[in-house]
Amino acid sequence: RCDISNPDDIRALFTDIDEAFGRIDFLGNVAGDAVREKPETIRLEDIESSWRNLVLGRFCCCQEAGRRMLAQGSGSIVNIGSLASVSALGRGHIGYSMAMGAVAQMTRELSTEWAHRGIRVNALRFSPYLGSKAGTATLEPSDVEKAESMSPLGNAGPRDLALEIVHLMQPGLRITGEIRHIDGGYHITG
């Protein structure tokens, strides 16, 4: 169990990884949630909570994994982001969208800092509209159908995301700083 908004929990998790495995070669960074509320009524505490979950926690995971990867001279990090980093979702997603923008920029900065030291850092922009019914639970069925109809490939799902993660974690791959869309082409229709 790890509270992703608590750096002490994250550090303890990585200590457990050290003891169990002695190294880390790949970090898939996806944990965290955000409070949804209209911009005019969201409490600043909820913005901070969203930021701690989605940005601070992910950075702390990158930092802990990065320190270990730097010591061994290799590793791959994939941050799971969202179309919300480049597109307005509306419907109370202000905290989430701001945080996802920060995750995209964090990916760029870390890839620049660590590429020459053997660590690749990339991100995948996944569309909750198209991939997971859990991500669409708060949407009207007509919204989901509209999003799926706007995607040239139809529904890009968790399998597509998993395949891209497996690709990016391959040793010897020379790709870093990429922020790729996993959305069935949805981003090109907007």
The residues annotated with a catalytic role in the active site are 96
Report the candidate in 36, 33, 46 with the shortest Cα–Cα distance to residue 3: 33
Other Cβ atoms within 10 Å of 105 Cβ, number: 14
- Alpha-helical regions (H) of 54-151: 57-72, 94-114, 128-131, 141-150
- DSSP class of residue 56? I
What Rg do the C-alpha atoms of the chain give, in angstroms? 17
Distance CA 112, CA 24 (A): 20
Distance CA 123, CA 7 (A): 21
Three-state secondary-structure class, residue 110 = helix
User: What angle do the packed helices 94-114 and 57-72 form, to 10 degrees?
Assistant: 10
Distance CA 190, CA 188 (A): 6
